[in-house]
Amino acid sequence: MKLTILFGGASFEHEISIVSAITLKEKLSNFDLTFIFCDSDHTFYLVEASKMKAVTFSKGEHKKMPVLTLAQGAFVQKSMFSKSEYNSVVLNLIHGADGEDGTIAALLDFYSIKYIGPRVDACTFSYDKRYTKYLCEAIGVKSVKYEVMHKNEHCNIQTPYPIIIKPSSLGSSIGVSIVKDESELDYALDVAFEFDDTVIVEPFLEGVKEYNLAGYYANGAMHYSIVEEPHKEEFLDFEKKYMDFSRSEQVLTADVSEELTLRLKTNFEKVYRGLFEGALIRCDFFVFNDEVLLNEINPIPGSMANYLFEDFAVSLEELSSSLPHSKRPKVTYEYIHSISQAKGK
């Protein structure tokens, strides 16, 4: 299968995207892969597969590689006497801003380029944690109680300590702090507001169980990964998640009952259907006091959560054959012609 992996972007998660792309290069060794790197200045570069190494980007060697532009249906490499098009299905592997905020989705839609990844509306409800909460309320999926705080606005927090402070529009645990008492609050808020003007405040739930489930819709049915129970300390910080994104070996299925597995899948489908078609996503759930709570939607999970699928390559093939198609209205200018005729012009 031919597949273009698009990675990089102007984001705090830029380097994680590079790690994900390198991981998938090894995982999808039987695919005919094209690698397109989006630099932080939004220039697209065609990267040779043999150069897919972290130092290629840290040393700026990618800037010597061919620059690509976009045209209808393809990325294009132009030279003085020729033009090459790269029109295979694109896998949007840009984490954070650009990739998950809807920017790349809008760009690919505009140029009618087929892609695996969340569409613009799905990005809206998964990139900003406030809107994820609103989505949960609308579709009947329970989530952790929360408060919203805005930068430069004094607000008395009502949630009892300990609490978690999260930037509203950021992933990979960047800017996240556990606050155990009021003396730690100001510092945690300063850290979070370095990355976002809005933060989410949630209770820190002692004794909570966490389960991850990935999936996608293809060929008329939902397809699910195994259920994973991540083993971690209080929470995964940036460095631990950085390493986590390089995983390629399949993990073990969590020891959970069929009843709980069904509840997790039911909640996953409520989140996915009607919004995330065309994407492979991972939902992170909490189980607390026998309630399933959605913690987070990962619309472009690290390394595409390949380690949760028995045959990840087949999953991508299935998904690429079931991508949604946006219809464009046919422009005929009939209205303008009728007005012109009525005026005798």
CATH number for the domain harbouring residue 249:
3.30.470.20
- The pTM of the full predicted model, rounded to 2 decimals, is 0.90
- 187, 203, 219 — which closes off a domain? 203
144: closest CA among 189, 102, 204, 192? 204
Structural domain includes residue 342: no
The answer to whether residue 198 is domain-embedded is: yes
191 and 212 co-located in one domain: no
CA-CA distance, 95 to 344, in Å (whole number)?
A: 56
Same domain, 58 and 183: no
Residues 64 and 185 in one domain: no
According to the model, what pLDDT value does residue 110 have?
96
Both 154 and 198 in one domain: the answer is: yes
Give pLDDT tens digits along the chain (345 positions): 999 999 999 998 999 999 999 999 999 999 999 999 999 999 999 999 999 999 999 999 999 999 999 999 999 999 878 899 999 999 999 999 999 999 999 999 999 999 999 999 999 999 999 999 999 999 999 999 999 999 887 678 899 999 999 999 876 678 899 999 989 998 999 999 998 899 999 999 988 999 999 999 999 999 999 999 987 655 545 455 445 556 667 788 999 999 999 999 999 999 999 999 999 999 999 999 999 999 999 999 999 999 999 999 999 999 999 999 877 888 889 889 888 787 766
Taking the C-alpha atoms of residue 6 and residue 37, their distance in angstroms, rounded to an integer, is 6
The answer to whether residues 40 and 176 belong to one domain is no
Q: Indicate whether 164 and 15 sit together in one domain.
A: no
pLDDT value, residue 155: 74
Residue 57 belongs to domain with CATH number: 3.40.50.20
Q: How many CB atoms are located within 10 Å of the residue 206 CB?
A: 8
Q: Is residue 345 part of a domain?
A: no
Domain that holds residue 133: 123-143+206-320
With respect to residue 339, please indicate whether it lies within any of the assigned structural domains.
no
Whether residue 280 contacts residue 216, with contact meaning beta carbons closer than 8 Å, is answered with yes
CB atoms within 10 A of CB 156: 5
Alpha-carbon distance values, 234 to 70, 82, 144, 230, 237 (Å): 44, 56, 16, 12, 9
**DSSP line for 108-155:** HHHTT--EES--HHHHHHHHSHHHHHHHHHHHT--B---EEEETT---
Decide if 325 is inside a domain: no
109 and 31: one domain?
yes
pLDDT of residue 173: 73
Number of domains into which the chain is organized: 3
Residues 112 and 7 in one domain: yes
Domain match, 220 and 303 both: yes
